[in-house]
Amino acid sequence: MIANLQHDHDRLRALAADLDVYLVQPTPPSGPEFAQLRWQLVRELSMHLAAERSALQAWQRSAGSAASHIDLSLDAAFTEHVAKWSGVSLIQSWHCYRSSARALLSRLRTRMDREERLMFPALNRAGHA
C-alpha cells in the first residue's frame, strides 16, 4: 500500500512540476500539451485520492489527532477547481487560473509531504505496508 502511494506521490510531483512550467507564463499556452498535462494530472490525482481514502481512514483510526495535520479538504478543493476552470474560462482569466492552480498544487505538495512524514511511518508500524 505505502509503496503504491509513494509511487503516486512521485508521479504527481513530476506532473505538478511540469505544470509549473506553464503557470509562470504571462499568457495562456497554445497547443494541446498544456490541456493534456492538466487532464493527466486530474486523472492521476483523482485515482490517487480514491486509493488513498482507505489508508487515511486506517491512519485516522490509529493516530487520532495526529491525522488532523492532513488537509482533507483538498479533495473538495480539487473538485471545485476542476469544475470552475474549463478551457474557455481558463483562457479568459489566465491570471486568476494561475493563482488558483498554484495554490492547489501547493496544498497538494504540503499534503503529500505530511503524509510521507506522518502517515506512511504510522501505517508501516501498524502493518499496513
Whether 28 has a pLDDT exceeding 90, the answer reads yes
Q: Where are the domains of the chain?
A: 2-125
H or E element, residue 109: helix 94-114
φ/ψ of residue 30, rounded to 5: -105, 160
Q: Specify the pLDDT at position 31.
A: 86
What does the alpha-carbon distance between residue 127 and residue 90 come to, in Å, rounded to a whole number? 44
pTM for the whole structure: 0.89
pLDDT mean over 112-127: 86
Which tens digit of pLDDT belongs to each residue from 63-110?
665 566 666 788 889 999 999 998 889 999 999 999 999 999 999 999
First to last CA, the chain: 5
The answer to whether the CB of 97 falls within 8 A of the CB of 82 is no
Q: Please, which pLDDT band fits residue 118 given cuts at 50, 70 and 90?
A: confident
Q: Enter the DSSP assignment of 67.
A: G
Residue labelled with grid coordinates 473538485: 79
Q: Closest by alpha carbon to 78, among 34, 46, 56, 125?
A: 46
What does the alpha-carbon distance between residue 116 and residue 38 come to, in Å, rounded to a whole number? 24
